[in-house]
Amino acid sequence: MIDELVDGFQSALVGRDRSAFAAVCALDVHYEDPLTGPALRGCDALGDHAARLWVAAPDAKIERAGERLSDGRFLAAPVRLTGTHTGELPGMPPTRRAFSVHAVLYCELDPPRERLWRVRAFLDLYDASVQLGVLPAHGGVGERALMLLRGFGLRARS
């Protein structure tokens, strides 16, 4: 049962069918990831959020990246999201760069334990931004310059 729910959720994320979330998620599903801001509520809001991925990376794929853990109510599912940023996003033109990001889906099942009720996706947004060329690589000259612009590393000498 757990595998079917997570597999269905993964398919819905990249499947370009907003209605697919209703098959595996409770109608009042709560969803969060680093890009949502406050938690999204409901299958429609989740479908709208996934549609941004479909536009940004039409070739996006999500696959299992490790053993899923569950106690019957909560589950953790490691995944890997890959694709190429070829589509327009608000305020961000296509970079035409590929990305590969590991994430963990931490989920709670609804009270009857039949559907996903709360889902949080944990991923390294900084690493994804570096892969897309939006932020400089960690430890490089670009990162040091960015930190200087932000006021880090500027100290009065004593």
| Chain segment 130-140, per-residue pLDDT in tens | 899 888 777 76
| Chain segment 19-58, per-residue pLDDT in tens | 999 999 999 999 999 989 899 999 999 999 999 999 999 9
Per-residue DSSP letters for 90-152?
TTB-----EEEEEEEEEEEE-TTSSSEEEEEEEE-HHHHHHHTTSSPPTTSHHHHHHHHHTTT
Domain annotation covers residue 8: yes
φ, ψ at 58 (rounded to 5°):
-60, -20
Domain annotation covers residue 14: yes
3-state helix, strand, coil in the chain (%, to 5): 30, 30, 40
Q: Which CATH number covers residue 95?
A: 3.10.450.50
Domain annotation covers residue 139: no
Domain annotation covers residue 95: yes
Confidence of residue 146 (pLDDT cuts 50, 70, 90): low
Amino acid sitting at position 45: A
| Chain segment 76-120, per-residue pLDDT in tens | 999 999 999 999 887 889 999 999 999 999 999 999 999 999 999
The pLDDT assigned to 155 comes to 57
Total tally of structural domains belonging to the chain: 1
Which domain, by its residues, includes 10?
2-123
Domain annotation covers residue 83: yes
Domain annotation covers residue 157: no
Domain annotation covers residue 84: yes
Domain annotation covers residue 147: no
